[in-house]
């Protein structure tokens, strides 16, 4: 049934996306090129509406039952409306954040919370009322992380597809069928949209799609890994390492440069890779490969012992730091680890 839902969601989204494109052009929901954007012509957005329609069709087919179903549907609708309005009239940052908080609050009120984690040596850490702000922070953070990487044709949709494939696979192995059902129908819808969105794109997903995908991925990941051990709680963070890292270092970059956190720039990961000489398509495929690497590491963590997971985390942190310094994600001059390794290599050379 899961495979059937995946295929139907894929076909529905492939067929409905051209209709959404015509609708977007008719109502003026278009993205015009400027100095910050890579595309060179006016493009229809609202592509996220096609993903949402495909998702709803899949929901009707599988009808996954859970106490979380209604809160997730309501939260998803709120985030779709927020994205739709932003694609139409470009909402201010505070109104976009308000929509995200409202959507997140609905699912938190519906019981989607990280209430405790199991620590080594048979101990347990209860979050108490802190579980609410922590959960809100996770949902809003991941929602914006997916939104921020939506800068190249097929980038956000492809990265989201890899993330969803990983989360769904782990959910099936764990027997979490509600999470698997949500993951499958969202994966099928996203892949169907990617047919029209991969370079050269015929339509953009806009904030309608990026916010919806980010919101749903954050909630699905939370449901799949809540109330677990320290190492497995890190699994969704590892799966989402690329968008989370890009967002985190964007914040650091703006703090270092003393710019407002909401100030746009052209120093995100995809911009840095383009400056290194990669083509549009090469950049997207490179980030796909990075996401797949971290997703594979996350899968390994689900099957590893605690200390093996710790080792994997250290290797991943080293890989992230190397990537940051190599591509200049903070600045061209920020290279502490590479400078240290260079000095260490020079010191070991015989005189």
**The whole model's pTM is what?**
0.90
| Contacts within 8 Å (CB) and 24+ apart, 303-309 | 304/231, 306/120, 306/229, 306/230, 306/231, 309/231, 309/234
For residue 207, say whether it is annotated as part of any ligand binding site. yes
Mean pLDDT by 10 residues, the chain (351 residues): 94 97 92 61 89 96 91 97 94 93 96 73 71 92 92 94 95 91 97 95 94 95 70 81 90 80 78 91 96 94 85 92 88 82 75 55
Predicted confidence at residue 349, as pLDDT, reads 67
Predicted confidence at residue 333, as pLDDT, reads 79
Predicted confidence at residue 187, as pLDDT, reads 97
Predicted confidence at residue 42, as pLDDT, reads 80
Cα dihedral 339, 345, 346, 348 in deg (nearest 10): 150
- 66 CB-near residues (< 8 Å, 6+ apart): 178
Predicted confidence at residue 332, as pLDDT, reads 79
Nearest CA among 264, 178, 268, 274 for reference residue 224 = 178
CB atoms within 10 A of CB 116: 15
Peptide bond into 200 cis (omega under 30): yes
Please tell me the distance from the alpha carbon of residue 161 to that of residue 305, in angstroms, as a whole number: 28
The domain spans of the chain are: 2-348
Q: Are 229 and 284 in contact (CB under 8 A)?
A: no
Residue 119, φ and ψ in degrees, nearest 5: -95, 165
For residue 147, say whether it is annotated as part of any ligand binding site. yes
């Amino acid at each position: 049934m899961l495979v059937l839902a995946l295929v139907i969601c894929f076909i529905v989204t492939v067929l409905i996306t051209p209709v959404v494109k015509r609708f977007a052009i008719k109502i003026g929901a278009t993205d015009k090129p400027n100095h910050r954007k890579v595309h060179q012509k006016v493009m229809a957005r609202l592509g996220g509406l096609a993903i949402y329609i495909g998702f709803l069709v899949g929901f009707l087919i599988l009808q996954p039952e859970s106490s979380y179903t209604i809160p997730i549907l309501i939260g998803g609708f709120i985030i779709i409306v927020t994205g739709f309005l932003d694609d139409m009239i470009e909402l201010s940052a505070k109104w976009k954040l308000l929509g995200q908080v409202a959507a997140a609050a609905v699912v938190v009120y519906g019981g989607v919370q990280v209430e405790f984690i199991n620590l080594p040596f048979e101990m347990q850490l209860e979050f108490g009322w802190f579980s609410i702000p922590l959960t809100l922070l996770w949902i809003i953070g991941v929602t914006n992380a997916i939104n921020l990487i939506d800068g190249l044709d097929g980038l956000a949709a492809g990265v989201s597809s890899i993330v969803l494939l990983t989360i769904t696979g782990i959910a099936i192995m764990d027997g979490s069928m509600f999470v698997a059902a949500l993951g499958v129908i969202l994966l099928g819808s996203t892949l169907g949209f990617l047919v029209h969105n991969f370079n050269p794109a015929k339509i953009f997903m806009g904030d309608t799609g990026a916010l919806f995908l980010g919101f749903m991925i954050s909630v699905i990941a939370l449901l799949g890994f809540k109330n677990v051990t320290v190492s497995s709680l890190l699994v969704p963070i590892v799966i989402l390492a690329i968008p989370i890292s890009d967002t985190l270092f964007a914040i650091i970059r703006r703090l270092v440069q003393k710019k407002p956190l909401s100030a746009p720039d052209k120093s995100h990961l995809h911009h840095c890779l383009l400056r290194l000489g990669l083509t549009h398509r090469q950049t997207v495929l490179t980030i796909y490969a990075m996401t797949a690497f971290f997703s594979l590491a996350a899968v390994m963590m689900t099957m590893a012992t605690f200390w093996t997971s710790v080792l994997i985390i250290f290797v991943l942190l080293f890989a992230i730091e190397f990537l940051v310094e190599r591509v200049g994600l903070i600045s061209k001059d920020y290279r502490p680890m590479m400078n240290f390794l260079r000095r260490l290599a020079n010191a070991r050379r015989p005189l």
